Structure 1
Amino acid sequence: MCLAIPARVVELLPNLRAIVDLGGVRKEVSIDLVADAQLDDYVIVHVGYALGKIDPEEAQRTLALFAELAQTEAQA
């Protein structure tokens, strides 16, 4: 199973690269598949590649579910 997570574009770099924020962690990713990505867009990231854009509200709901899952696992 593969997992792609929402991340916010915080910096656009040359050669279709970008810095994204993954819950406070910043990572450089390829935006070859989402060449129209702009600052503050949310993209779905899997193994260093932005696969597509996602609606900001949907991104926030998904990130909230991940946080809830992490909290539940920490309590177990």
Structure 2
Amino acid sequence: MCLGIPGQIVEISDHETNLALADVSGVRRKVNVTCVAGEGLDALVGKWVLIHVGFAMAIIDEAEAKKTMDTLNALGEAQEEFEAMFESDRAMEGRT
């Protein structure tokens, strides 16, 4: 099963490569926002997204973000998704 972790886009870090910074439980992570950039990159700042292995897969509202994180924490599955995200970050940094 694929899980997404909620995060809030706080900054567009690279317009050319569609990379943004997302706040995920107080930690800022690079995410690719290509899949959710329909209204333009700058329109994403402040939006909540579901992140899976470094990609923002869907835009959600704040209530859904909280509900999702609460559910993941209750199930104890958030750690596995965080590890996948961190592995994705390491892979992205290795390419630059």
Give the structure-1-normalised TM-score. Answer: 0.79
SS at 1:45's partner residue? strand
Distance 1:63 1:3 in 2: 11
How many pairs are equivalent? Answer: 70
Name stretches of at least 5 consecutive residues in structure 2 with no aligned partner.
Answer: 77-96
Q: Which has the higher strand share?
A: 1
2:70 matches 1:42: no
2:26 matches 1:24: yes
Name stretches of at least 5 consecutive residues in structure 1 with no aligned partner.
Answer: 71-76
1:1-76 alignment, distance < 5 Å:
1-14=1-14, 15=16, 16-35=18-37, 36=39, 37-70=43-76
Superposition CA RMSD, Å: 1.5
Q: Which has the higher helix share?
A: 2
Give the structure-2-normalised TM-score. Answer: 0.64
